Each structure stands twice: as structure tokens, then as C-alpha cells.
Amino acid sequence: MVESMLKLAPEFENVTEQKLAKMTTKNVNVFYGSNHAVKNISLNLHRDEVTSLIGPSGCGKSTFLRCLNRMNDTITDCRIEGEITLDGEDIYNSKIDVVQLRARVGMVFQKPNPFPKSIYDNIAYGPRIHGLATARADLDEIVTNSLEKAGLWQEVKDRLNAPGTALSGGQQQRLCIARAIAVNPEVILMDEPCSALDPIATAKVENLIDELKGRYAIVIVTHSMQQAARISQKTAFFHMGDLIEHGDTTQIFTAPKKERTRDYITGRFG
């Protein structure tokens, strides 16, 4: 009796779920000219959770990812419909400062892209332009903390003035993650962050993602089924712009509900 009283009606459950979500997307459609690349996607993204976006090339997963911090804004012909909110606020609202948005919703790319600057300046750059710190001591603290959180501090603490580009591929990618963390983001988007890394460097980045999930909502696009299975709590399968299935990663990889999900993850796609 008490349980049934405490249980919310389905329509309210949905509202509560959206309120708890860090980001929500509702009926998001993306068009490149006449090409309907992303179709009616509604997804909630939570803190303390890694969401993997999987699907064959051209399925719309990266396009969808880039909508979440308005990276598609610069693409001419790209039109976005629907609603995307961060803490309940529409990120496509004209009052939104896109630079601030991208600090709150950081991004890590497929290929590590450190600035052609020192390791220190790679991290300090963001906090400086966002005015998070001006005094050297404050910047030092941010740089140290960010590199520690990214699991890179021990490896680079004695060569902070060395160029970021001199690091190995895996270290460069962790430097890019440290750079994203330095501006106190709330959401981190990753677009195939390990595809250019060897298994050891991949394991280090995956371990880092696992450690970071307690502080941020993380969304990762990956072509590796095993990576999605290893690091995410939620998995969303995209196909030809549609969201076919979204659910707990364990459920998706043991008993997917949709045949197309099954065919894709088991390697049966014709």
C-alpha cells in the first residue's frame, strides 16, 4: 500500500527523471541541407554515468554528440530542431553564451589535439580565458589538480614546460582530458577518444573515464563494442539517424530488445 502510494504515476516519473538528468534532449532532429542526419532523438544524460553512443559509420551518433555543446553551429547548412537542455536550460536559447556552454560541456576528440604550447599552458589556457584564475598560484593549483585527476601528474610533473606535443599519443589524450577538466565542466563529450591509441594507453584512458564519471556526465562515441561494454553504464544504439535502443549497458550486451541492435553488436549486419 505504502509502496504504491510512494510510486509516482508514469507521467510524473518521466518529469522527475528529466529533472534529475544533467542534460536532456527532446525530439532532436538535425539536417545537413536536405539530409536528415539525426531523427527525433530523446535521451537523458546523468551525472555519475557514462553513456556510450554506438552504431555504424554515418548513423548520426557524432552529429548528435556535437549538438550537445553546439559544435555544429559553425557548419553551414546544418539545422537543428528540438530541445536540448543543460540543468533545465535550453542551450540553443539566444541568450546562451556558447563559449561558456563549451566550458560546461567539454569535448575530447578522436585525435589528441594539444595546443602547440607547453604542458602547463595547455591546461592553463582555458582557466585564463574564462577568468577562473589570474594569479600564478591559483593557476598552478588548477594545473596540478587537473593533471592529477587525469592521471598524468606523476608522468609530467618534472617537465611542465615541455611541449604538449612531445608526449606520447596516450599521454596527449589524457592531457586533452586534463585540459577539458581544467575549466570545471559538468559534462564531458568524447568522440572516439581511444581510436588512435594502443591497448595500454586505451586502458589508462578508460580507467580515467571510470574515475571521472563520479564528477561528470560523460558521453562517449565509440566504434568498439567492447569499450562501450567496459566503460559505460548506459548504451544508445543509433542506426541511420534513428535511436534504435537505449538502455543499461549490461542489458544491451546480454539481451538487447531490438533485432537491429542484436545484429549490429554481434556482427551480423549485412
Partner 1 sequence: MSDHILSAYDTELNELRSIVSRMGGLAGDQLVGSMQALKERDAEEAQRLRDADAELDRLEAKAEQAAIGVFARRAPVADDLREVVSALKMTSLIERMGDYAKNIAKRTLAISKNHPVVLPQTIETMAERAHQMIQNVMDAYAHQNAEAAVEVWESDEILDNLHNAAYRQILARMMETPEHINIYTHYLMIAKNLERIGDQTTNIAEQIYYTNTGNVLEDSRPKGDVTSVGKADE
Q: Reduced to 3 DSSP states, what percent helix, strand and coil does the chain have, rounded to the nearest 5?
A: 40, 25, 35
Site track 234-263 with partner 1 (rule: CB under 8 A), x = hit:
-------------------xxxx----xxx
Shortest distance, position 259 Cβ to partner 1, whole Å: 9
234, 246 Cβ separation under 8 angstroms: yes
Rg (CA), the chain: 19
What is the number of helices (H) and of strands (E) in the chain?
Answer: 12, 10
Shortest distance, position 246 Cβ to partner 1, whole Å: 16
- Looking up cell 533485432, which residue turns up? 259
Q: Specify the residue, 12 or 269, whose C-beta has the smaller distance to partner 1.
A: 269
Q: Specify the residue, 130 or 262, whose C-beta has the smaller distance to partner 1.
A: 262
Give the total of residues touching partner 1 (CB under 8 A).
Answer: 16
Q: Which residues contact 40 (CB under 8 A, 6 or more apart)?
A: 27, 28, 29, 82, 242, 243
- The β-bridge partners of 85 are 24, 90
225 makes contact with partner 1 (CB under 8 A) = yes
Q: Contact with partner 1 (CB under 8 A): which of 214, 226, 232, 248?
A: 226
In the DSSP assignment, the letter for residue 9 is P
Phi and psi at 61, nearest 5°, equal -70, -40
Q: Contact with partner 1 (CB under 8 A): which of 28, 229, 243, 244?
A: 229
Shortest distance, position 52 Cβ to partner 1, whole Å: 13
Shortest distance, position 22 Cβ to partner 1, whole Å: 28
Q: Specify the residue, 72 or 202, whose C-beta has the smaller distance to partner 1.
A: 202
Q: Specify the residue, 116 or 267, whose C-beta has the smaller distance to partner 1.
A: 267
At 171, the amino acid letter reads Q
Measured CA to CA, the distance from residue 82 to residue 84 in angstroms comes to 7
In the DSSP assignment, the letter for residue 73 is G
269 makes contact with partner 1 (CB under 8 A) = yes
266 makes contact with partner 1 (CB under 8 A) = yes
131 makes contact with partner 1 (CB under 8 A) = no
Shortest distance, position 197 Cβ to partner 1, whole Å: 19
Q: Find the helix packing angle between 119-129 and 169-181, rounded to 10°.
A: 20
Stretch that binds partner 1, among 107-115, 155-163, 166-174, 223-231 (CB under 8 A): 223-231
Binding site for partner 1 (CB under 8 A): 225-226, 229, 253-256, 261-263, 265-270
